[in-house]
Amino acid sequence: MAIREGFIGTIGNTPLLRLDSLSAETGCDILAKAEFLNPGGSVKDRAARYIIDDAEREGRLFPGGTVVEGTAGNTGIGLAHICAARGYRCIIVIPDNQSPEKLDLLRTLGAEVRPVPPKPYKDPDNYQKIAGRLAAELPGAIWANQFDNIANRQAHFETTGPEVWADTEGRLDAFVCATGTGGTLAGVARYLKGRDTKIRIVLADPMGSALYNWVRRGELVAEGNSITEGIGTTRVTANLEGTPIDDAVQVDDPACVAMVYHLLREEGLFVGGSSGINLAAAVQVARQLGPGHRVVTLLCDRGGLYAGRLFNPAWLAEKGLAGAAGV
Ligand code: PMP
């Protein structure tokens, strides 16, 4: 396939990278899919594409239409690119505690950005619910609804999962990944378990998320908090529902930050906090399995989105994380 279809044509088929330093440290093959190489810079381009294609196919979205979404940023970035390419208006409702780089990028891409105060999911003014109401009020608008729209998980069932399987030639012992909507984990886990039930599926969770306790003991209980963005949740979304998950590991902020800086200094990879959670969890799983195993995870997005936070020594010092970063 020499010629590809514009922005859409460059989504997916990301390379699977072997991380030598972590592989040597664990005696395992630690492999990570470079999702930050998607054209919008994150794993969420895949979901954005499937959500828009699905709405067009079902006749819910047509020329002159509007796409509304509540997002921590990356899904909005993917949607904004595709809306520009297809002539849709794009409205993004985003909690105002997300990184300023994401808000600026969304505006540059032509999205109308509506920052709102962060509220828990049960609050009627939670950003996801505001987005839903806005879409219902606007003629010709759809709500992308990435959390409960299973076109999201389908994107990973049809693309990410098969790519992992093909890239490893079916030789992997575990797949580990953090969840925001759960679309990535759900789609990949369903696909891989369908090919080989022995592949261990492990959910990686930041502090402040309820899913670790949900997987471990069936209770949606959250403790602590995290500087990571776009991952961690206190509910089981429609996307996550029914996912075959074998285990969960929890990663705190110091371990996440230490891993992000390890990836930067030892592997030359400039990625965001969820990638740190994923790789720290992958190392934990590799240690549980023992040498000779192969563990696959994802590098979700680019570090540049967090230049003023994760990569800003003053900000890290304020959060008590400068030591973990070694800055
Ligand atoms: N990492 C980052 C940086 C994200 O923005 C997201 C999505 N919000 C994820 C990971 C998790 O992906 P998913 O929504 O498929 O669970």
- 174 in Cβ contact with 201 (< 8 Å): yes
If asked whether residues 130 and 31 sit together in one domain, one would say no
Structural domain includes residue 171? yes
Overall number of domains in the chain: 2
Indicate which CATH number applies to the domain containing 110. Answer: 3.40.50.1100
Range of the domain at 14: 8-37+160-325
If asked whether residues 15 and 69 sit together in one domain, one would say no
Ligand 1 contact, 302 CB (< 6 A): no
User: Would you call 44 a catalytic residue per the annotation?
Assistant: yes
Ligand 1 contact, 128 CB (< 6 A): no
Going residue by residue through the chain, which has 327 residues, state the pLDDT in tens, using 9 for 90 and above: 689 999 999 999 999 999 999 999 999 999 999 999 999 999 999 999 999 999 999 999 999 999 999 998 999 999 999 999 999 999 999 999 999 999 999 999 999 999 999 999 999 999 999 999 999 999 999 999 999 999 999 999 999 999 999 999 999 999 999 999 999 999 999 999 999 999 999 999 999 999 999 999 999 999 999 999 999 999 999 999 999 999 999 999 999 999 999 999 999 999 999 999 999 999 999 999 999 999 999 999 999 999 999 999 999 999 999 999 999
Structural domain includes residue 127? yes
If asked whether residues 169 and 296 sit together in one domain, one would say yes
If asked whether residues 32 and 165 sit together in one domain, one would say yes
Ligand 1 contact, 160 CB (< 6 A): no
If asked whether residues 181 and 228 sit together in one domain, one would say yes
Of 143, 177, 196, which residue is a domain's last?
Answer: 143
- 301 in Cβ contact with 43 (< 8 Å): yes
CA of 204 to the centre of ligand 1 (A): 12
Of residues 38, 106, 50, the one with CA closest to residue 239: 50
Q: What predicted TM-score, i.e. pTM, was given to this entire model? A: 0.97
Q: Amino acid identity of 255?
A: A
The ipTM of this complex is: 0.99
Catalytic residue among 33, 44, 102, 193: 44
CA of 43 to the centre of ligand 1 (A): 7
If asked whether residues 53 and 17 sit together in one domain, one would say no
